[in-house]
Chains A and B, each alone.
Chain A
């Protein structure tokens, strides 16, 4: 099982962490990864680097530079690497 942790700290939430959920859910459904990927919520990961970023960890590893604009591409490639 691949664990995707999404940060719901105040900054990441404001940058669109909530809006990532439907996007991620759509990717999972399209690829049929329901049994392979688990989405978790996280408190502030204390990784706030860039003001616009949303902190996401895949299997505990922080994926840097995620924003609402590039989320689809990054999640797709990062998850495909692991599956």
Chain B
């Protein structure tokens, strides 16, 4: 049995593992990886698509993405395209939003007919029929049908996109508008065919490690509990064994950010404008691209915990590469910002692929307990955790309490940003998280977020109850400007 319940994701993972293994062994080439892909789809009987040749083509494109090449054989690299549609994998699924099903009994009341304000429904021979030329997709007929015979279906990718960045070409294949896309990867989570995927940097990271370039890893707090029973020290040890010089928790950066954020919040309160958090890159992108005035006036100028810690590490080790390991796809784009000190971003599935390629099982490792960040920093991974940490910072500094609102998921983020734009937001701080539930529900996580919550709580219960100030005493950010 595979690791993932979705076969598409399992294929993606298998290919990432093979790419990692071949890179570690110095055997990676297009020929080798495409040979492997053929082995994944053996014989002549297709299981998912019209034929095995199409299935293999989909996997060939997945292999390209795993090797950091553009999908669909596009020759030139475009750093904007972090999330890409694999055209061969896109099913071009139904675009008829409202459909009448066999449940229609051609009843005598015909509420659908009277509900439709556009005259788009008439009675056919067996059931009601929609004239799609006239239908405005308002959904009233769906609501009034007593037999639930009328259904609404939207393309999962289209329905999941909070910023209308998904369109379709003349063949019904999904197309991402990169001028609108915020890299939140909600379409990637939503697509049941795995047709939307992120580009991977496992190869350059492994290659640089192999060529003895010193590399440091920063791990997102959501990594706790992702690898079965492995504890945080065991996970850190496992990643170190891949060849990293050191592994640091991004939660250290989170402590520094929360402490500074409190100061910025006080300034905002004085100026009478709410502050919005800056740790979720998809949320920041949403503000930047779709609410520019809010981005200008309200978004915190603080770096994300990843960026803050990366800057500190780059300051201490200017010759070294910094690799962030997280549950997040948008971080891959954040790392390309001009003020970034992060060289590469890997996801949890990519790091697991590397661990398996090197036959490292973190659960079996001897690792000594060492404890840097506060629980507040670690809880940035869960929705609501950021504002809680800033509240804690206020408490530690002896400042007054303030009010915060947590926007859970990209649609809620959009709503609250709209409220700020029109001056109708009545809290001091808006914490925006593009993934519902926070980072633990990110697109590249391995385990179910509810299981992670339990495992995190259990492990952190044993950790030292430390204040944010105490954590910053251990890891000193003096002299590092953590503003963008």
> In the complex the two chains form, is A13's CB within 8 Å of B68's CB?
yes
A31 within 8 A of B: no
Contacts of A13 in B (CB 8 A): 68, 201, 203-204
Which of chain A's residues has its CB closest to B214's CB?
A43
> In the complex the two chains form, is B343's CB within 8 Å of A9's CB?
yes
Contacts of A8 in B (CB 8 A): 204, 207-208, 213
> In the complex the two chains form, is A43's CB within 8 Å of B77's CB?
no
> In the complex the two chains form, is A40's CB within 8 Å of B79's CB?
no
Contact of B211 among A9, A41, A51 (CB under 8 A): A41
Contact of B336 among A10, A17, A43, A51 (CB under 8 A): A10
Assembled-state Cα–Cα distance A42/B79 (Å): 19
Assembled-state Cα–Cα distance A13/B313 (Å): 23
Min CB gap A25→B, angstroms: 10
A74 within 8 A of B: no
> In the complex the two chains form, is B208's CB within 8 Å of A43's CB?
yes
> In the complex the two chains form, is B76's CB within 8 Å of A51's CB?
yes
A4-25 Cβ-contact flags toward B at 8 Å (1 or 0) = 0000111101110110011000
- Answer whether A18 and B204 are a contact pair too, CB < 8 Å, given A10-B79, A10-B344, A11-B79: yes
Which of chain A's residues has its CB closest to B23's CB?
A18
Determine chain B's interface SS by DSSP, over half rule.
loop
A75 within 8 A of B: no
Min CB gap A26→B, angstroms: 13
> In the complex the two chains form, is B213's CB within 8 Å of A43's CB?
yes
- Answer whether A18 and B77 are a contact pair too, CB < 8 Å, given A9-B343, A10-B344, A43-B343: no
**B residues contacting the other copy or chain, number (CB 8 A):** 21
> In the complex the two chains form, is B321's CB within 8 Å of A43's CB?
yes
> In the complex the two chains form, is B76's CB within 8 Å of A42's CB?
no
B321-360 Cβ-contact flags toward A at 8 Å (1 or 0) = 1000000000000001000000110000000000000000
The tally of CB-CB contacts under 8 A between chains A and B is 48
Contacts of B213 in A (CB 8 A): 8, 41-43
Min CB gap B76→A, angstroms: 7
A52 within 8 A of B: yes
B90 within 8 A of A: no
Assembled-state Cα–Cα distance A33/B201 (Å): 31
> In the complex the two chains form, is A44's CB within 8 Å of B76's CB?
no
Contacts of A40 in B (CB 8 A): 211
Which of chain B's residues has its CB closest to A39's CB?
B211
> In the complex the two chains form, is A15's CB within 8 Å of B211's CB?
no
Assembled-state Cα–Cα distance A43/B201 (Å): 13
> In the complex the two chains form, is B207's CB within 8 Å of A18's CB?
yes
Contacts of B207 in A (CB 8 A): 8, 18, 21, 41
> In the complex the two chains form, is B77's CB within 8 Å of A15's CB?
yes
Min CB gap B321→A, angstroms: 5
- Answer whether A14 and B69 are a contact pair too, CB < 8 Å, given A41-B213, A43-B208: yes
B28 within 8 A of A: yes
Contacts of A52 in B (CB 8 A): 76
Min CB gap B25→A, angstroms: 13
Assembled-state Cα–Cα distance A9/B343 (Å): 7
B59-95 Cβ-contact flags toward A at 8 Å (1 or 0) = 0000000001110000011010000000000000000
Which of chain B's residues has its CB closest to A12's CB?
B204
Min CB gap B152→A, angstroms: 40
Kindly identify, within residues 202 to 238 of chain B, every residue whose CB is under 8 Å from any CB belonging to chain A.
203-204, 207-208, 210-213
B481 within 8 A of A: no
Assembled-state Cα–Cα distance A52/B75 (Å): 10
Task: Kindly list the 10 A-B residue pairs having the minimum CB-CB distance in the complex, ordered from nearest.
Answer: A41-B211, A14-B77, A13-B204, A8-B204, A41-B208, A43-B321, A8-B208, A41-B213, A43-B343, A18-B203
5 A–B pairs (Cβ distance < 8 Å), ordered by A: A13-B203, A14-B68, A14-B79, A18-B207, A51-B77
Residues in A lying within 8 Å of B, measured CB to CB: 8-11, 13-15, 17-18, 21-22, 39-44, 51-52
